[in-house]
């Protein structure tokens, strides 16, 4: 037995213990849905599976409060290993605040967590968060990361996988249109500039597939954790009738809301709490009539009904 397999089976039994009955390794708060998901795993193959994680805030310093910056390398390692354990995970995406700022050696910190994250055996994608710009300009941060299939990383982009159109948005712009750059911003002043809203409109208009959106700051309301022009962006998503779900980070407690038929799922932050039991990441299954979020550790499981995905002709 190789060292690697030994570590994985240890991880597997550890997770099974955490989940309690051993029916499934994920935590699911909806009655019957764990059983339903376990059955569906056997009976019908989901159309698509992908992994999602957010707010790792990886840094080489300790600070008070509930955030454990140095533990995110360990927590991300577990996330990548669990995703690799499932052979059919199409890709892994992180939803921003990948690192935390004010560290003595930020490029080194970014390289370390990027090394762990890109160790996933499949395509991997990034979403930009406010803390990604604590010590970096957009260009500097993007220069240190890779999004599979792209020559150079970008803040907003779209990519198709398994019959779904995935759109990544970047709200790390001030109200005056200036991009976030090395702490030149107030974190509550998050905006999607008009040029990007136009790009989104055009992208969704041309999309021939149902869409799933990824963004760091939240779109499903108003207040400090929300994008200032969230209502305008939601209108665009609603207008084309193609958006199934929006996955968000930033609000470390996690949340869920449904507006005009679109699900807004906010994943809990990886950085909060000490120890492997306080990790958070999820496996998302897109099925023809529902999207199932299988939350690992503290991440919340949820099933989100969708109108149905037409089979390609």
Which region, judged by CB under 5 A, interacts with Zn ion, from 58-66, 97-105, 236-244, 278-286? 97-105
In this chain, which of 49, 67, 250, 294 binds Zn ion, going by CB under 5 A? 250
Size of the site for Zn ion (CB under 5 A): 4
Q: Which two tokens stand for residue 1?
A: 């037995």
Q: Give the residue among 145, 149, 158, 152 at the shortest CA–CA distance from 96.
A: 145
For Zn ion, the closer CB: 46 or 249: 249
Q: How far is the CB of 67 from Zn ion (least distance, A)?
A: 12
CB closest to Zn ion, residue no: 250
Which region, judged by CB under 5 A, interacts with Zn ion, from 63-71, 122-130, 166-174, 273-281? 122-130
97 part of the interface to Zn ion, by CB under 5 A? yes
Q: How far is the CB of 295 from Zn ion (least distance, A)?
A: 19
Which region, judged by CB under 5 A, interacts with Zn ion, from 5-13, 108-116, 245-253, 303-311? 245-253
Q: How far is the CB of 130 from Zn ion (least distance, A)?
A: 5
Q: How far is the CB of 269 from Zn ion (least distance, A)?
A: 9
134 part of the interface to Zn ion, by CB under 5 A? no
Q: How far is the CB of 180 from Zn ion (least distance, A)?
A: 11
CB 53 within 8 A of CB 76: yes
How many other β-carbons are positioned within 10 Å of the β-carbon of residue 16? 14
H/E stretch holding 285 = strand 280-286
33 part of the interface to Zn ion, by CB under 5 A? no
For residue 180, the cross-strand partners are none
Q: Report CA 294 to chain centroid distance, whole Å.
A: 13
Q: How far is the CB of 204 from Zn ion (least distance, A)?
A: 25
Q: Which residues contact 31 (CB under 8 A, 6 or more apart)?
A: none
Dist. CA 207–CA 195, nearest whole Å: 18
3-state secondary structure 239-265: HCCCEEEEEECCCCCCEEEEECCEEEE
Dist. CA 290–CA 292, nearest whole Å: 6
130 part of the interface to Zn ion, by CB under 5 A? yes
Q: Which two tokens stand for residue 3?
A: 């060292």
Which region, judged by CB under 5 A, interacts with Zn ion, from 109-117, 163-171, 242-250, 295-303? 242-250
CB 191 within 8 A of CB 227: yes
129 part of the interface to Zn ion, by CB under 5 A? yes
Positions in the binding site for Zn ion (CB under 5 A): 97, 129-130, 250
């Amino acid at each position: 037995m190789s060292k690697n397999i030994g570590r994985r089976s240890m991880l597997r039994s550890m997770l099974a213990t955490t989940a309690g009955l051993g029916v499934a390794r994920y935590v699911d708060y909806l009655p019957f849905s764990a059983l339903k998901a376990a059955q569906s795993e056997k009976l019908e193959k989901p159309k698509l599976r992908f992994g999602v994680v957010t707010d790792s805030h990886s840094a080489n310093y300790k600070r008070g409060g509930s955030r454990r910056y140095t533990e995110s390398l360990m927590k991300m390692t577990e996330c990548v290993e669990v995703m690799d354990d499932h052979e059919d995970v199409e890709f892994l995406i992180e939803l921003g605040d990948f690192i935390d700022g004010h560290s003595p050696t930020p490029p080194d910190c970014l390289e370390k967590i990027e090394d762990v994250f890109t160790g996933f055996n499949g395509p991997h994608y990034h979403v930009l968060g406010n803390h990604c710009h604590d010590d970096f300009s957009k260009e500097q941060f993007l220069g240190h990361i890779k999004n599979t299939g792209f020559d150079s990383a970008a803040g907003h982009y779209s990519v198709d996988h398994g019959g779904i159109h995935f759109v990544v948005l970047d709200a790390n712009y001030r109200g005056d249109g200036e991009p976030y750059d090395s702490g030149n911003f107030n974190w509550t002043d998050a905006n999607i500039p008009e040029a990007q809203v136009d790009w989104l409109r055009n992208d969704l208009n041309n999309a021939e597939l149902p869409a799933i959106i990824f963004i760091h700051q939240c779109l499903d309301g108003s207040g400090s954790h929300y994008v200032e022009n969230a209502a305008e962006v939601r209108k665009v998503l609603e207008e084309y009738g193609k958006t199934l779900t929006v996955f968000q980070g930033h609000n470390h407690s996690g949340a869920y809301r449904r507006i005009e038929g679109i699900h807004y799922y906010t994943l809990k932050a990886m950085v909060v709490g000490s120890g492997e039991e306080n990790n958070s990441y999820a496996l998302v299954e897109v099925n023809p009539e529902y999207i199932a979020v299988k939350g690992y550790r503290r991440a919340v499981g949820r099933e989100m009904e969708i109108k149905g995905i037409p089979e390609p002709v």
